[in-house]
Amino acid sequence: MAATESDWRTQADERGDTTVKPLWQRWVVENPVFRYHFLGQTRLAVARPLWQVLAVASPFAVIYFWLAYQVATNGLPAFVITLEVFALCLLAPLMTHSLFAMEFERATWDMLVLTRLTAGQIVMGKFLSRLVMLLVFGFLFTPLLWMAANREFNDMASPLMVLWGLKVQWVTVSWAILVSAVTLWLSYHVRRGMVAAAASFVGQVFVLLVLPIFWSFFLSLLQITDTPDPSYLRLETLGRFTWFLAWSWLPIVYNPIVAAVGLFVFRTSPNAPFLWGIWQGIVYLILAAAVLWALMASVAKATRKSLL
Amino acid sequence: MAMLEVRNLRKEFGQLVAVKDLSFTLQPGDIFGYIGPNGAGKTTTLRMLATLLEPTSGTAIINGVDIVKEPEAARPLIGFMPDFFGLYEGITAYEYLAFFAEAYGIPPAERRQVIENVLELTDLTVKRDANVETLSRGMQQRLCLAKTLLHDPLLLLLDEPASGLDPRARAELKELLKEIGAMGKIVIVSSHILPELSDFCNKIGIIEKGELLLWGDVETILRQLQPAKLLTIRCLDGAEKLVEWLNRQPEIVSTQIVNGAVQAQFVGDDEAQADLLRRLILDGHRIATFTEMTMDLEDVFLRVTKGEVA
């Protein structure tokens, strides 16, 4: 049986801790797992000879500045949005696929289990280390996005455009967070990094591409695609949008590409549903939290550790 | 009260009974050699004692803490070194120990000193800034042992600690384990390589097919299994004449000639043994060698086990 918060308090008392520390302190500040995966592995990447670091970093820097030049001169906001979504869809599994699998593959898991760390510290230490990296990566796209929008519409500083940019970032990054959480879950349960990454990529292809196609096909079979017009490009009012959702919620809810492009299409429409984008990000984050909670519960049960 | 009491510990994997109702007790300072062929259930036993595997039934009490009911309370009392262990990549030996020191909840103010102490104990001080991946297998083994000692556990569980080590590294490990035993900890060392245990274990347990065939003090077990001493005597006047003389002595149970020497089963203490040698010489036998053959762990193991696996 997984231990509860009260057990954790008892354990803390035995350790001599007089106060129960807040979660952020346990999961981040005083968590060696977070520190190893965030600082240790990052340091491992940059503590190489300078020429190696430059050799790896240069192509990325060139591509980034080339992109910046292109969007500054040609606009292409839809291209930037699509690129960001695809980059995050690709990056999220790559960053998280081995976090648990490496413990099993390198036979360090047993030693970690025997420490005083709770299931929450282990899971969140690993997850949060990658969340920071995802946020940094998402942040790198912000200037590109706003430069493209400014070139295209010449109103980068208007509140509407700022809101649009924020919503695009919110949807794409929260999707990446969901993908990271699911990949982490896979990494623990399948115990093989490559299998976890492959399953995550295949899952995304299914959810983002195959499922919407099947759903459209299903709607066609039911002959319900004519009323109302399913094309989100023609949705003009909140009422029609809600009606549309009733029939085609699956691709919308699960598909950040549809959401992000939809945000671009509706960027200036006064009748565009305001919450489109925001609530989808919330759904993604709720799902991510549920996946992480399930993972913590699995770890706590398997290792007979405290949950949080 | 015993510091470790194992009570009817049992583990089943489906139809397979990996460990059958194991019971034994150990006291502080005991070094327990846990012997058995591959697949006998040694690792399963150690993993249950380490709280990594939940027993099907039975339990173990470590210093009053039940490992089944209170695994989290038991873990600080246990140090476990698995037979196959890994190291985190890209960190130094010191950082590796610092990671686990924090994970074990050692207060920040004490961490540095604790790490220095275990580095010194395991002779790794000179390697404190070396990348863990560049260390030799023997040094990695010692580093893992240092990590296991960080939180000062009462019970050390070492699963095949010398496997893969060269003879020098094995000798160093033996010395280290003797030192740890002298610190008053209970050490359980599993192995199927008997010579590596014989020097420093004061208690042994032999497991086969998941069943503990015998356990106890090494000397007591040897006495039980070898009630008569085995003397090997080589005489320059010929073995037949010596056999004839020995068979007339009341302390001699049986004799046989092996490679020109006489092996005699002798019942008696050291005084009687010395008296026998004196009489041999006084009766004019020219004795070249007179040796007491002691039974070692390998003999015990071969006599007790049948070579079966679970």
Domain-located, residue A283 = yes
Instruction: Quickly state the pLDDT bin for A9 (edges 50, 70, 90).
Output: very low
Which residues on chain A are in Cβ contact (under 8 Å) with B106? none
User: Are B165 and B259 contained in the same domain?
Assistant: no
pLDDT tier for residue A7 given thresholds of 50, 70 and 90: very low
Which is nearest to A173 in space by CA: A203, A133, A210, A143?
A: A133
> Over 80: is that where the pLDDT of B217 sits?
yes
**Co-location of B24 and B126 in the same domain:** yes
Domain that holds residue B31: 4-219
Report yes or no: B52 at the A interface, CB cutoff 8 Å: yes
How many angstroms separate the CA atoms of B151 and A33, rounded?
18
Q: Is the pLDDT of residue B212 over 80?
A: yes
Length of chain B in terms of residues written: 310
Residue B75 lies in a domain: yes
CB-nearest to A107 from B51, B84, B147 is B84
Q: Is A108 on the interface with B (CB under 8 A)?
A: yes
Distance in Å, alpha carbon of A152 to nearest chain B alpha carbon: 46
- B295 DSSP assignment: P
Given this model, what pLDDT does residue A235 score?
Answer: 46
Please indicate, yes or no, if residue B180 is contained in any of the structural domains: yes
- In a domain? residue A157: yes
- In angstroms, the CA A179 to CA B170 distance is 47
**Average pLDDT of span A247-255:** 59
Q: Domain boundary residue among B219, B240, B269? A: B219
pTM of the model: 0.80
Name which of A106, A117, A304 is nearest B51 (Cβ-Cβ). A304
Residues, chain A, total? 308
pLDDT of residue B195: 66
Q: Is B89 on the interface with A (CB under 8 A)?
A: yes
Residue A220 lies in a domain: yes
Statement to judge: residues B181 and B280 lie in one domain: no
How is residue A22 annotated by DSSP?
P
Judge whether A69 lies within some domain: yes
Q: Are residues B206 and B240 in the same domain?
A: no
DSSP structural state of residue A206: I
B61 with B207, same domain: the answer is: yes
Asked if residue A189 belongs to a domain, the reply is yes
Compute the distance between CA of residue B256 and CA of residue B254 in angstroms, rounded to an integer.
7
Average pLDDT on A195-224 reads: 79
Task: Using a CB–CB cutoff of 8 Å, tell me whether B71 touches chain A.
Answer: yes
Of B171, B188, B219, the last residue of a domain is: B219
B141 and B271 together in one domain: no
Residue B288 falls inside a structural domain: yes
Dump pLDDT digits (tens) for A291-304: 999 999 999 999 99
Task: Out of A53-67, A182-196, A227-241, B120-134, pick the least confident.
Answer: A227-241
Say what percent of chain A tops pLDDT 90.
31
**Highest mean pLDDT: which range of B95-104, B192-201, B202-211:** B95-104
Assess if residue A228 is contained within a domain: yes
pLDDT of A156 reads 60
How many structural domains are present in chain B? 2
- Would the CB atoms of B87 and A106 count as touching at under 8 Å? yes
Asked whether residue B184 falls in the same domain as residue B247, the answer is: no
Q: Are A176 and A91 in contact (CB under 8 A)?
A: yes
Judgement on whether residues B152 and B15 belong to the same structural domain of the protein? yes
Mean pLDDT of A266-289: 75
SS3 of B308, please? coil
In a domain, B194, yes or no: yes
* B83 pLDDT higher than 60: yes
**Does some domain include residue B299?**
no
Pick the residue from chain B with its C-alpha nearest to A113. Answer: B52
Determine contact: A115 vs chain B, CB below 8 A: yes
- The reply to whether A300 touches chain B by the CB within 8 Å rule is no
- Residue of chain A minimizing CA distance to B102: A32
* Facing B71 at nearest CB: one of A111, A115, A304: A304
Residue A1 lies in a domain: no
A15 assigned to some structural domain: no
Count of structural domains within chain A:
1
Residues B273 and B158 in one domain: no
CATH number, domain of B237, equals: 3.30.70.100
pLDDT at B137: 83
Which residue type sits at B103? Answer: A
Residues B237 and B284 in one domain: yes
A201 and A93 Cβ atoms separated by less than 8 Å: yes
Question: Which among B181, B183, B177 is positioned nearest to B191, based on CA atoms?
Answer: B177
Q: Are B141 and B265 contained in the same domain?
A: no
Percentage of the residues of chain B whose pLDDT score is greater than 70: 94
For B82-93, what is the mean pLDDT? 84
pLDDT value at B252 more than 60: yes
Chain A residues within an 8 Å CB radius of B48: none
CA distance B115 to B150: 7
Q: Is residue B86 part of a domain?
A: yes
Residue B282 tokens read as: 């006084």
Residue B310, domain member (yes or no):
no
* Domain's final residue, options B165, B199, B219: B219
> What 3-state DSSP class applies to B258?
strand
Residue A13's pLDDT is: 47
pLDDT of A42 reads: 63
- Give me A279's structure tokens: 């609530």
Q: Which residue has the higher pLDDT, A206 or A279?
A: A206
Is residue B302 a part of any domain in this protein?
A: no
| Amino acid A2: pLDDT | 39
Q: Which residues of A touch B83 (CB under 8 A)?
A: none
* CB atoms near residue A124 (< 10 Å): 24
Q: Are residues B167 and B244 in the same domain?
A: no
Biggest CA–CA distance in chain B, Å, is 76
* CB-based contact B190:B47 (threshold 8 Å): no
- Position A121 pLDDT exceeds 60: yes
Residue-level pLDDT at A72: 84
Shortest alpha-carbon distance between residue A88 and chain B (Å): 26
Give the Cα separation of B191 and B204 in Å (integer): 11
Interface confidence, given as ipTM, is 0.77
Rounded to whole angstroms, the Cα distance separating B258 from A227 reads 103
Range of the domain at A109: 22-303
Tell me the shortest Cα–Cα distance from A26 to chain B, in angstroms.
Answer: 11
